Amino acid sequence: MRGWMVAGNWKMHNTQDEARTLSKYIVDNTVNIQGGEIVLAPPFTSLSVVYDVIKGSQVKLAAQNMYYEDKGAYTGEVSPAMLKDTGCSYVIIGHSERRKYFHETDEGVNLKTKKALSSGLMPIVCVGETLEEREKGITEYVVGIQVKKALNGIDGIADIVIAYEPVWAIGTGKNATPEEAEAVQKFIRGIVRDIYGSAADNLKILYGGSVTADNIGSLIEMEDIDGALVGGASLKGEGFVGIIKRVAEKR
Ligand code: PEP
């Protein structure tokens, strides 16, 4: 069984004190939950603080981005080695906000995914269509290209997680219905199966887009939804733990 994952993407939120308090709440309230992976992705400035709180627990650390070079004159960037040094085991790559505001391309996502893997970080690769693309009926075309390009030249997918995040559902309070999400999640697994065969059955594919403790229950019942990448609702300890508990109960 591929198990589940719930990852909290804090985006550009939380000072170090706030990060310490929130991560402590999550560690303390997930002690008895088993069978999956719980991941927190604070901003770079709080990675060390959160790592100090979570180390020794089952909660793991992710960065929200990284660069694909080891070191050099790349002002403002952070390398995979630096992330590992602060305790990260995961890195989010190609989030739609990075694609939209920082002009990340599928080619850049591919370079970062390869570099994360060769550096021993597990990439959580984000894909998803915009509202305009959905309305034009080209969701599968767009997501298919994103997935294929992200995985281009990568030998195995054992250490990769994919997050399907329809852009129109991120931070909008409008989430995809379980059936809408499942259709794309299944499509993604099909593409991965075409390339990697039965390894696709072990790939975790998360759903992301306005997930809350109230709506995760029906999403997680879908066969190809293996957990959630959570933005807004990961900023409140109670709500985030509520999501984790519902996922753990149903999987
Ligand atoms: C995200 O940032 O990945 C996300 C899904 O955000 P939200 O849950 O706020 O829609």
CATH code, domain carrying 69: 3.20.20.70
User: Tell me: the pLDDT tens digits for 182-215?
Assistant: 999 999 999 999 999 999 999 999 999 999 999 9
Residue whose Cα lies nearest atom 2 of ligand 1: it is 231
Length of the chain in terms of residues written: 251
Domain of residue 81: give its range: 4-250
Residue listed under structure tokens 């952070």: 78
Mean pLDDT of the chain: 97
Residue listed under structure tokens 């959160």: 50
Q: Total domain count for the chain?
A: 1
Round to whole Å and give the CA distance between 117 and 226: 21
Q: What is residue 40's predicted lDDT score, i.e. its pLDDT?
A: 98
User: Tell me: the pLDDT tens digits for 42-71?
Assistant: 999 999 999 999 999 999 999 999 999 999
Q: What is residue 38's predicted lDDT score, i.e. its pLDDT?
A: 98
Residue 173: pLDDT over 90:
no
Residues near 180 by beta carbon (within 8 Å), at least 6 away in sequence? 166
Round to whole Å and give the CA distance between 162 and 24: 27
Residue 174: pLDDT over 90:
no
Round to whole Å and give the CA distance between 160 and 147: 12
Active site residue 95: yes
User: Tell me: the pLDDT tens digits for 61-113?
Assistant: 999 999 999 999 999 999 999 999 999 999 999 999 999 999 999 999 999 99
Q: What is residue 192's predicted lDDT score, i.e. its pLDDT?
A: 98
Task: Please name every residue paired with 112 in a beta bridge, in sequence order, or none if there are none.
Answer: none
- What is the average pLDDT across 133-152? 98
Residue whose Cα lies nearest atom 4 of ligand 1: it is 231
Residue 155: pLDDT over 80:
yes
Q: What is residue 1's predicted lDDT score, i.e. its pLDDT?
A: 74
Around Cβ 121, how many Cβ atoms within 10 Å? 24
Residue listed under structure tokens 């901003």: 43
Q: What is the best residue among 210, 219, 236 to mutate for testing ligand 1's pocket, by most ligand atoms within 8 Å of CB?
A: 210
Q: What is the best residue among 9, 214, 225 to mutate for testing ligand 1's pocket, by most ligand atoms within 8 Å of CB?
A: 9
- What is the average pLDDT across 111-124? 98
Active site residue 13: no
Around Cβ 75, how many Cβ atoms within 10 Å? 5
C-beta of 128 in contact with ligand 1 (< 6 A): no
Q: What is residue 19's predicted lDDT score, i.e. its pLDDT?
A: 98
Q: How far is the CA of 53 from the centre of ligand 1 (A)?
A: 23
C-beta of 211 in contact with ligand 1 (< 6 A): yes
